Amino acid sequence: MKIGVCIIVLATAFAGLRIEANATTWAPKKVVCTLCKTENTFMEIASYGTYIYNWPEKFQYIFWPLTDANVLYSCKKCRLTAFMWDFEQLPVDKLPEIKRQLDSVGAKPFEEPYWKEPMSARLEIAAKVYSVLSKGDSFWCQFYRVQGYHFEAEKRESDAASARRKALEMDQKQLSAAENAGVRKELLLISGAMRYFLKDDPAALKDLREAAGLTYRNPKLESEQATNVDRYLSALLKEYIARIEAGVKPSNR
């Protein structure tokens, strides 16, 4: 399962459909760790619906399953940790450096189930793994938003704020790049969201209002897909602006 624009494309493709259920389900899966060859029991997605794109975490511009403890796999022995869609796809030539990074963390083995390990701890290990993989600003912007969400869920408000400031920094770098002019609407939504969660409503409204006046254009998408993303962003921006103007305080839920 890929996370990013394709999720919004999927969501908007079903816009207007009436969804009755609101359940997500998981099923156990045996996975052999690429690094130490230990067999782990992880959870994989069994079912979900497009209703997930209207859950409150959309105001941090992240979507389920990134908000679920099952999403971040962690080997019970060597502590190799990565998002479920990456865990079995790690480049073989990067494994020695990944092992060195894991050794530097000094994380101890644990008993299954993996999802009982705090997300904050697993995300900190995952950051070491992903630091080896040459991920770009877009990845890290999302990673820090996810980190902020889970820090807040664990009542670590100061750490959540720190993660969101990092996400904002990554977003600002993308906004300054000329090649991102077409997706400025999306990037301004992200910056507005992070400012809102950092309790800077005036700056958040400035970004969100500017975004509301733009059109999303992405040459990597088909014209209809880009239009659907633009429609989704417009609806979210309208809701977001009204939310702040009404004095609603930021919250994971």
Do the domain assignments include residue 248? no
On whether residue 138 sits in a domain, the answer given is yes
Which residues form the domain of 237?
Answer: 5-243
Q: Classify residue 27: in a domain, yes or no.
A: yes
**Cα 169 to Cα 138: distance, rounded to the nearest angstrom:** 11
Model pLDDT, residue 2 = 43
Question: How far is CA 188 from each of CA 119, 204, 208, rounded to the nearest angstrom?
Answer: 27, 9, 6
Torsion of CA 95, 43, 62, 252, to 10 degrees: -120
In-domain check, residue 252: no
Structural domain count of the chain? 1
Asked if residue 253 is part of any domain, the answer here is no
How far is Cα 100 from Cα 132, in angstroms, rounded to an integer?
10
Q: Which tokens go with 113?
A: 């189930």
Query: 39-47 and 72-74: which strand pairing?
Result: unpaired
Q: Is 81 domain-assigned?
A: yes
Of 83, 102, 85, which Cα lies nearest the Cα of 35?
102
pLDDT at 165: 98
Cα–Cα distances in angstroms (integers) from residue 195 to residues 31, 105, 199, 203, in the given order = 39, 31, 6, 7
What does the chain come to in residues?
A: 253
Residue 165 C-alpha from the chain's centroid: 15
3-state percent helix, strand, coil for the chain, nearest multiple of 5:
60, 10, 35
* Ramachandran region, residue 44 (left: φ > 0; alpha: ψ -120 to 50; beta: rest): beta
DSSP-based three-state secondary structure for 47: strand
251 in a domain, yes or no?
A: no
Instruction: Give the pLDDT of the chain (253 residues) as one tens digit per residue.
Output: 344 444 445 444 434 333 335 789 999 999 999 999 999 999 999 999 989 999 999 999 999 999 999 999 999 999 999 999 999 999 999 999 999 999 999 999 999 999 999 999 999 999 999 999 999 999 999 999 999 999 999 999 999 999 999 999 999 999 999 999 999 999 999 999 999 999 999 999 999 999 999 999 999 999 999 999 999 999 999 999 999 999 999 998 8
Measured between alpha carbons, how far is 223 from 85 in angstroms, rounded to an integer? 27
Question: What is the residue whose two structure tokens read 């939504």?
Answer: 189
Residue 45 near residue 24 (C-beta atoms within 8 A): yes
Q: Evaluate if pTM is beyond 0.85.
A: yes
In a domain, 13, yes or no: yes
